[in-house]
C-alpha cells in the first residue's frame, strides 16, 4: 500500500480502478518562498518565487526523514499564486527531489477553489508538473448553507474526474467553518479515487470516529492529522501520521516521534518508549504554539531565524511583513525554538532519520 502511483498513468475512478494512498510517514505543508527584500527581483506587491530557497528547504526536509511534500496548501499561500507559478513551483521541486535521489518522495498538490471544473483543471496541471496526489480543500464559501449531502456529492464529482488520487483537506479555519461530519467521511472513504484526509482541526472525537471506524477500509483511506500537537493521540486511534507545519522547521523531531511509535508497536511498547514519546510530544506541542498563533507567517519567521532560510518578511500581501513587532514577538518563542534546534541537531548527529 505504500508504493507511489505511476507518474505517467493518471487515475480514472470511472473505470473502477482503486487508487493507493500515499506512503505512510510525516509530510510537510511547505511554505512558498518569495524573493527577499533588497534583491533585484523583489517587488513589494507580488515578489517572484525564490526557487533556490524552495529547493534548499525541500532537501533539508527529505534529508531529515520527511516522507513527502505538500505543495500549495494553506501554508504554501496557494491562493496568492498564478497558474503558471503553481506549475513552475511543483515542477521545480519534483526535479530537485529526483535529481537528489529522492524519486520515492511524493508531492501532494493542494487545491483551494470552489468550482469543480477549476479544481479539476488545477489537479490536471499539478499532475503534468509532477505531483502524485491532490489535496482538495472543501468548498467553504456557502458553508452555513451547505448540507452534508452537498459536500459528499461535491467531493465525489471531483474524485470521479480527477487524474490524481484525491485527499480531502478538512480545515474549518480557512473554509468559513465548513463542517464535514464523520458520517460523510465514511461515505467518501468508499470512493475508489479518494485515498485519505488531512484533518486540520482538534476535534479528537471526530478524528476517532474517522480513524477508528470499522466500516472504513483503512488500507485504502489514510487519516493524517494536520496538527503535530495531536500526532501521538491520533496514532493511537488509527491515524497514520501527520502533515505538519512544525515539521517544516524541525523535521527530525516530528519524524522521531512517528518512528518510535511504529517501532515500539512492532516490537512491544515499553515504559521507556512511552516516556520518550510523551516527552517528544510535549516538545512538539511547545513549538506548535507559534504555528497555531501565526500560521505561515510564524513558520517563515522561524525558518529565517533558526536556520537562516528564506526571509522573515517573505510573504505576499496581505501576509507580507512578518511579525508586526519582530524582536518583541520572537522573544516570546526564542527559548523554546533554540531548545528545539538543539534537539534537532542532536538527532541529526545520531543519523537515524535520513
The active-site residue, picked from 187, 198, 300, 312, is 198
CA distance 62 to 74: 20
Judged on CB neighbours under 10 Å (0-12, 13-18, 19+), 275 is exposed
Residue 198 among the catalytic residues: yes
Residue 26's nearest CA partner among 253, 206, 216 is 253
CA distance 238 to 90: 30
Question: Which residues, other chains included, contact 255 with Cβ-Cβ below 8 Å and sequence gap of 6+?
Answer: 25, 26, 64, 65, 66, 247, 353
CA distance 324 to 336: 20
Asked whether the beta carbons of 181 and 1 are under 8 A apart, the reply is: no
Residue 110's nearest CA partner among 75, 140, 135 is 135
Residue 39 CA: distances (Å) to CA of 43, 50, 146, 319: 9, 11, 46, 19
Asked whether the beta carbons of 135 and 29 are under 8 A apart, the reply is: no
Residue 217 CA: distances (Å) to CA of 186, 187, 290: 9, 11, 35
Asked whether the beta carbons of 258 and 352 are under 8 A apart, the reply is: no
Judged on CB neighbours under 10 Å (0-12, 13-18, 19+), 206 is middle
Q: How remote is the C-alpha of 96 from its chain's centroid?
A: 19
Residue 132 CA: distances (Å) to CA of 46, 100, 162, 312: 28, 18, 12, 30
Q: Hey, what's the cell of 19?
A: 487508487
Say how many Å lie between the first and final Cα of the chain, rounded: 22
Catalytic center residues: 198
Amino acid at each position: 500500500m505504500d508504493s507511489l502511483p505511476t507518474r505517467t498513468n493518471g487515475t480514472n475512478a470511472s473505470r473502477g480502478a482503486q487508487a493507493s494512498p500515499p506512503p505512510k510517514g510525516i509530510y510537510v505543508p511547505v511554505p512558498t518562498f518569495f524573493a527577499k527584500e533588497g534583491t533585484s527581483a523583489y517587488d513589494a506587491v507580488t515578489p517572484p518565487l525564490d526557487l533556490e530557497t524552495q529547493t534548499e528547504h525541500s532537501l533539508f526536509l527529505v534529508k531529515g526523514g520527511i516522507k513527502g511534500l505538500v505543495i500549495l496548501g494553506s501554508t504554501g499561500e496557494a491562493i496568492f499564486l498564478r497558474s503558471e507559478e503553481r506549475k513552475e513551483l511543483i515542477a521545480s521541486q519534483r526535479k530537485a527531489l529526483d535529481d537528489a535521489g529522492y524519486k520515492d518522495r511524493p508531492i501532494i498538490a493542494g487545491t483551494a477553489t470552489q468550482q469543480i471544473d477549476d479544481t479539476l483543471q488545477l489537479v490536471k496541471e499539478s499532475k503534468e508538473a509532477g505531483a502524485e496526489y491532490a489535496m482538495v480543500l472543501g468548498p467553504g464559501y456557502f458553508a452555513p448553507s451547505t448540507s452534508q449531502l452537498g459536500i459528499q456529492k461535491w467531493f465525489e464529482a471531483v474524485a470521479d474526474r480527477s487524474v490524481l488520487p484525491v485527499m480531502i483537506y478538512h480545515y474549518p479555519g480557512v473554509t468559513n467553518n465548513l463542517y464535514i461530519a464523520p458520517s460523510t467521511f465514511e461515505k467518501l472513504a468508499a470512493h475508489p479515487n479518494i485515498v485519505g484526509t488531512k484533518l486540520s482541526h482538534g476535534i479528537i472525537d471526530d478524528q476517532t470516529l474517522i480513524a477508528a471506524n470499522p466500516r472504513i477500509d483503512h488500507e485504502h483511506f489514510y487519516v493524517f492529522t494536520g496538527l503535530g500537537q495531536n500526532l501521538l493521540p491520533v496514532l493511537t486511534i488509527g491515524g497514520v501520521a501527520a502533515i505538519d507545519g512544525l515539521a517544516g522547521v524541525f523535521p527530525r523531531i516530528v519524524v522521531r516521534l512517528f518512528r518510535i511509535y511504529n517501532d515500539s508497536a512492532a516490537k512491544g511498547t515499553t515504559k521507556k518508549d512511552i516516556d520518550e514519546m510523551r516527552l517528544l510530544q510535549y516538545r512538539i506541542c511547545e513549538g506548535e504554539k507559534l504555528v497555531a498563533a501565526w500560521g505561515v507567517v510564524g513558520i517563515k519567521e522561524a525558518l529565517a531565524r533558526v536556520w537562516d532560510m528564506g526571509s522573515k518578511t517573505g510573504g505576499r500581501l496581505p501576509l507580507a511583513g512578518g511579525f508586526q513587532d519582530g524582536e518583541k514577538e520572537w522573544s516570546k518563542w526564542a527559548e523554546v525554538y533554540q531548545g528545539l534546534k538543539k534537539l534537532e541537531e542532536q538527532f541529526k548527529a545520531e543519523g537515524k532519520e535520513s
